[in-house]
């Protein structure tokens, strides 16, 4: 947690635990029912991969449908390996098709569009 949160939450967790329990997401996870798709880079410095694993374990224990994808050697933007971007998009579209009621044709069109734009940039 960034040190700046100390100022926004009026103190450190050990000083004002009730303030953190009211604001920090991990204390609210029992309310989550929406299928959750988590994508992270192994080297993400903004959202540590350990936090993604903790979220995944919490969703599992709550019985919430979820999927965690961790891309190796990637940071927050998942932009170091072009294949990772394609895999990320493919998996997100599959997730939306399954849980977001997005039609397969829309997903296929998006993938074709991504393929074409990548070819033009090569």
- Worst-scoring range by mean pLDDT, 44-53, 83-92, 109-118? 109-118
Query: Which residues, including other chains, have CB under 8 Å from residue 47's CB and lie 6 or more apart?
Result: 40, 76
pLDDT tens digits, one per residue of 80-111: 999 999 999 999 989 998 998 766 566 666 66
CATH architecture, domain defined by 32-121: 3-Layer(aba) Sandwich (3.40)
Res. 19 pLDDT band, cuts 50 70 90:
confident
Question: Could you tell me the two tokens for 61?
Answer: 């224990």
**Domain assignments of the chain as residue spans, ordered by start:** 32-121
The pLDDT assigned to 25 comes to 79
Exposed, middle or buried by CB within 10 Å (0-12, 13-18, 19+), for 68?
A: middle
Is the pTM higher than 0.75? The answer reads no
Closest among 42, 29, 102, 43 to 68, alpha carbons compared: 42
């Amino acid at each position: 947690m960034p040190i700046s949160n100390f100022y926004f939450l009026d103190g450190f967790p050990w000083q004002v635990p009730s303030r953190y329990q009211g604001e920090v997401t991990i204390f609210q996870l029992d309310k989550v029912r929406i299928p959750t798709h988590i994508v992270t880079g192994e080297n993400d410095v903004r959202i540590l991969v350990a936090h993604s694993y903790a979220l995944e374990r919490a969703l599992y224990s709550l019985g919430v449908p979820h999927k965690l994808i961790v891309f190796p050697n990637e940071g927050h933007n998942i932009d170091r390996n072009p294949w990772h971007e394609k895999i990320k998009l493919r998996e997100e579209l599959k997730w939306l098709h399954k849980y977001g009621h997005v039609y397969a044709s829309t997903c296929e069109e998006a993938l074709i569009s991504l393929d074409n734009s990548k070819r033009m940039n090569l």
